[in-house]
Structure 1
Amino acid sequence: MILRYIYGGSLFLKGYDTSDIIKILIASSELGLQELITHLQLFLIKNKKKWMEQNFNLIYKTSFENYSFLKLQDFCKALIFNEPEKFFNSNDFTSLSESCVISLIQHKNFQKNVIQVWEHVLKWGIAQNPELPSDPSNYSKNDLNTLRDTLQQCTSFIKFFNLSHKQFLNNVYPYKKVLPKDLRENLIKHFINQPDNKPEPVITKEISSKNMDSKIITIQHTELISKWIDKLEITDEISNPYEFKLILRGSRDGFSPSIFHKICDNKSHTISIIKVEDSNEILGGYNPITWKTDCSFGITKDSFIFSFRNKENIEDYILSRVKDEEFAIFNYASRSLGFSHDLVLYGNKCGNTTFNPLRYEKSIRKINGRFNVEEYEIFQITEGNEPKEIMKGNEPKEIVTGNEPKEDSNCNLS
């Protein structure tokens, strides 16, 4: 069937069992047939929804074992989020992936019940390590370290600071050794200093301006960009203390693609900031996955590009999120950065944007085409002093196409 698609360009799914279509989907992934992968996922969601609901465990396991099955992952998450309490209390909860557990505990329906979230996350973590003793009071130091390593990504999303004294002492403190050291110490200090007869405040952290080093943007820009990263509304409070760590500046390090890739390759969660020559216009983009030089597409649903028409007015911006995640990032040795073809930076201080959006929601410039670069900077987003991490098991895969058009090495705008 796949050979028929490869050589004939057509595929007829009528008459095939759903389980067979799942097998074809897996085989397509192994062969890197991205167009077919997308088509099969859409077909299943549109035509086999009831079957997939009845066989949820199979669909969930299959989708999260392969990062390219993003649409099936979203389908599974939607089912869970429609009835989150049902999944929280089901036996299937402990079989969920780490990324799905994190998404679930962030769901607004469960932010109100921190104790329930904590108890279920503990249950999930213990289930991932069946070798642990059945009685937590018998845990050795190694057992506690194992459980802490399992839970470390999840615990950062639990709003422990919203607990009362009694809740913290009864439900969290007995497991203090499975919390990261910094979080544990901050919680203990907080609840020691918090009077028992006062309501617990909701702790919100602000972006740190420490080490902010830019010739292009201000701390106000970083606050807005951080909200975009967390997919917050403009009026929302910022819950993560992001810092923007400068790793490359064109005027300091050079504008060549080789310099960009030497410094930025294999670094994730980077913000690119570009100052357009002879204007106050700023362009930029966020890449949550790593840059490479292997002529490949990087898959992510969290990247975005943006522009500020005037540096002095941060309210005058255009934000454009990726709409075709399979082609979100293009890695190419002869260009510094590529958010697909929608925002490209070449090596001779010039770049390009598209008038008609290709892989992103909309164009970020009123006048598109080639532009000259006055300055550009690359920042890596950090939390505290550590780089913001990709969730374990969520590292995006990349697809080698080999069909990328050659780039024009000239960028004369005169």
Structure 2
Amino acid sequence: MSLKFFDKLSQNFIELLDDKDDYNVIIEVENKEKSFMAHSNVLKYRSSYFRKELENIQPNKNNIKTIIKSSISAQIFDVILKYIYGGIVNLENVETRFIYDLMLIANELEFEELTTKLETHLIENKASWLKTHFSFIYHSIFINNFKNLEKFCNDIIVKYPNLIFESSDFTSLPESALISILKRDDLQLEEIKIWDYVIKWGISQNPTLPKNLVEWNKENFLTLKTTLQQCLPYIRYFHIPSNDILDKIQPFKRILDKPLWKDLMQYLISPDRPVNSIILPARSVLIPELPTRDKEPFSTIITNEHIAEITSWIDRKSSTYSLGDIPYEFQLILRGSRDGFAPQTFWDKCHGHSRAVVIMKVKGTDEIFGGYNPLAWNANLNHNSWVQTKDSFIFSLKNGNIQTSILSRVKKSERALKYLDKSAQKSWGPLFGDDFFMCSLSSNFTLNEDCEYRNFGFYEKLITTTTYFSIVDYEVFKVIKKII
């Protein structure tokens, strides 16, 4: 039998770190604006990364070695040091983005145990945040080789491939990420569309290629073939309709190996004759499950952290509600990707609902905009009318590369919102003063960048420098007081 006293051991090592007695290492972080003191023996035995670093650094005249990690924030390195000395990482009351950044730094510093624990924590406890920041997450995990997160994301992509293939930064996807998707037998996308996306990605990696395919020479096709050599083997050529092969693949046949193209042509003419090329199985078609309501994510755009922030603004609190103390629930009224993006749908769905929050994800950026209306939307007016309230506000939420949320309360309360007549509802959605509104002359908010933000002074603060935009999705929630 062994008696273990890890708690006291951890406490004593944390005290050693705090006392800074006999330190012989200084770690400078955050562009050398902050420094930490540590002990070389502790660092070397707890971290193979720091062992290698210390072996290559000469001490100064006081026998002190200095390690410079300018790109690491002081807040994150403080957590890392407490993990090194005490084996403790406190994740209470920290934002999910901080946990994600901590995981990246732990991986960089080769703390495999900590990295794996944080990766698992994000998947099991922060799935909604990962989905909200999907494109950002997906691009970074392949650079850093997070296998569990790769599987988590790819399991989503195979069901909803447009999340990546239709994203504005698809062509910047790492090759390893694209290959991992192409390998999946359950990717729910027509094979010829997969081919189109692969060609699009390959051409974008070579911006000097002629824009017009008729101008391509032998070297141009060789360049594209070389770029896509790891991707092409995962295309299921023998399951592509003949018309698509002639229309889409034949123009690029020079990037395929000659035996493959010969077999493909033979297969079109006589599919029963054997070929030498490997015929991959057709991708499986998933039978869609009907999810129960309690399994559906409450939002495709925002997280519980965002709800805490918005409800604090509604109650005019000076600090943000903790996640356990949010006194409201967000009840979904409308989701564009579910109910449609026509402006008229907004008025039909939201008529009569008060205390409503409008949320939208901007296409091509990380921006999330929104507005709050404490009054009931009215779709039965005979003429356009200004609506007065002192409690409406508009906002931009922190998300991805946007680190700070911005709240802008109504300034001209007599013109806080505008309700529209039937004819205007065909092209216009919600209007917050003349500053912020959703519009679509083509009856689809995702097209043509007709939505607009302009700082005309109806609301207090500038929430973005973006003027015209279209959206990826939008949602309207009714804010309901929880029954305790």
TM-score bracket relative to the smaller structure? 0.3 to 0.5
Determine which structure has more spread, i.e. the larger CA radius of gyration: 2
Select the structure with the greater relative contact order (CA < 8 A; seq sep ≥ 6): 1
Q: TM-score, normalised by structure 2?
A: 0.38
